[in-house]
Amino acid sequence: MSSSKIYKLFINGKWINSESGETFPSINPTNEKVIGKFQKGNEEDVDKAVEAAEKAFKKWSEVPTPKRGLILLKIAQLLKQNKEKLARELTMEMGKVIEEARGDVQEAIDMAEYMAGEGRRLFGYTTPSELRNKFCMTIRSPVGICGLITPWNFPFAIPAWKIMPALICGNTIVFKPSSDTPLCATRLVEILERAGVPKGVVNLVIGPGGSVGMSIVKHEKVRCISFTGHKDTGKMILKEAGLKKVGLELGGKNGIIVMDDADLNLALDGVIWGGYGTTGQRCTAASRVIVHKKIKKKFERMLVNRIKRLKLGNGLNIKTDVGPLINKQAQEKSAKYTEIGLNEGAKLLIGGKIPKMKGFFFKPTLFTDCSIDMRICQEEIFGPIVSLIPVKDFEEAIEAINSVEYGLSSSIYTNDMSKAFKAIQKIESGITYINSSTIGAEIHLPFGGIKHTGIGTREGGIEGIHEFSETKTVYIDYSGKLQKAQIDVG
């Protein structure tokens, strides 16, 4: 990796310059140094990428699915071989601590392996007909050209969650990653190329969301948009996409309930990991902790003691617990929300400041005595800020956890089985953890949210296949005569 190198777009199997003639830098958030320059794509580049994807579609969609699976296995193998290098570059580009960066790459490996296996399944189903001598089944077919638009916070995992199922289903791809992590996206596409993904099947167009992203969204030849990012961007995409398949994975304001019968040491580990892991920049980060009044004081003390010991710094240093935020705006956003919290009357227990060090760091912050309607308890901050909301009983805890517009991840710490089962049913979210933190999705299970976190699509597992394939219903009549469903009832 060289800071003066200019990385290119990947269109129709070639690394090329953008039509814009412009470049932009990717900045290391730990030391604010440029790690590389990138071609800034524009609408014309999107047109070229769609054209290449269109040309490649016929041949790629006709490759037997198990053979496409072999290419995915090769991708998994190359990711494995390069895991450490990729994780280190990820840490440099977005500041995630190295252990979490390895996890990010591992998730991409797991997804490639899982979807490679789907190459030998991609099941439809058979079912009896209501008529004699007639056979009914469903098969899966690709959607067509898929526009994949991704955020920066899981720069290998999230693209892999989309690219691998899209590929195994026989689609071709125009991939637009976040401009905060173009190096990770470039490395991933380099690996796809090395694994033998044919030209035009995956095209990488790096560039601004408003131009590159939006022209993918609006493009008439793109049949499917799979987007992960901010709620407001998602809303805009839904409005502009027209008649396409659209999958939206949006923000979260996830909560952990800590009941008075909980194992507090276990809950402590869960809140620290959920609230401050990845510097609070996970869609599943736990930014609200709903705590039973009986154990509130004790749990506050435990949290403050642990937060005091969290070490900020370069994620490449094994001793670092919390890395920087992704960029200056994110740092300013955390500072702004601290002020909002204070003005709203929340009590600041620790943190709330930009530390005096290079990089976009923010001190792990804990508010208490928060009420559910405060903005710090309603809006996604995407920083290391956790708000404690005291409640008097289980019913109030459920009301508090459901009091937000989002519904991604949730958790309850309790040793009471009946409360745990009630919580599973009553919490409004796509994912619920019992006696564990709000994070740690496994790729063979569905991932996604309800309410304003999305529109019901799920990634991962078999449901990830649904997003990138169409179901065709097939009727085979071997009776030798015209049989009429619903009419020939005798």
**H-only helix segments in 128-197:** 157-168, 182-195
Does residue 256 contact residue 290 with C-beta atoms inside 8 Å? yes
Provide the 10 A C-beta neighbour count for residue 265. Answer: 9
230 interacts with ligand NAD by CB under 6 A: yes
CA dist 229 and 283 (Å) reads 9
Say which of 146, 184, 224, 283 is annotated catalytic: 283
Considering only 26, 39, 150, 368, the residue that binds ligand NAD (CB under 6 A) is 150
Q: How far is the CB of 458 from ligand NAD (least distance, A)?
A: 10
| Torsion over CA: 289, 294, 299, 304 (sign) | positive
Q: Which is nearer to ligand NAD, 28 or 254 (CB)?
A: 254
Per-residue x/- mask for ligand NAD, residues 332 to 361, rule CB under 6 A?
A: ------------------------------
**149 counts as binding ligand NAD under rule CB under 6 A:** yes
d(CA 157, CA 29): 20
Name the helix (H) or strand (E) containing 245: strand 245-249
Q: Would you say 239 or 481 has its CB closer to ligand NAD?
A: 239
Which DSSP letter does residue 354 get? Answer: -
| Residue 251 binds to ligand NAD (criterion: CB under 6 A) | yes
Identify residues 182-211 at the interface with ligand NAD (CB under 6 A). Answer: 209-210
Closest to 221 measured CA to CA, from 168, 144, 281: 144
CA distances from 430 to 304, 360, 394 (A): 30, 31, 20
Closer of 25 and 66 to ligand NAD (Cβ): 25
Tell me the backbone φ, ψ of residue 412, rounded to 5 degrees.
-135, 135
Site for ligand NAD in 23-62 (CB under 6 A): none
Does position 385 bind ligand NAD by CB under 6 A?
no
DSSP-derived pairing of the beta strands 431-434 and 126-128: unpaired
Q: Is residue 236 close enough to count as binding ligand NAD by CB under 6 A?
A: yes
CB of 431 to ligand NAD, least distance (A): 10
| The one among 86, 87, 214, 325 contacting ligand NAD by CB under 6 A | 214
Q: Does 229 bind ligand NAD (CB under 6 A)?
A: yes
> Is 249 part of the annotated catalytic residue set?
yes
For residues 20 and 42, what is the distance between their CA atoms, to the nearest angstrom?
6
237 binds ligand NAD (CB under 6 A): yes
Annotation marks residue 377 as catalytic: no
Quick one: which of 484, 408, 441 has its CA closest to 160?
Answer: 441
| 408 is a contact residue toward ligand NAD (CB under 6 A) | yes
Q: Which of residues 277-306 bind ligand NAD (CB under 6 A)?
A: 283
- Cα 252 from Cα 84, distance rounded (Å): 30
Which CB sits closer to ligand NAD, 185 or 291?
185
Binding site for ligand NAD (CB under 6 A): 149-153, 158, 176-179, 209-210, 213-214, 217, 228-230, 233, 236-237, 249-252, 283, 380, 382, 408, 449, 453
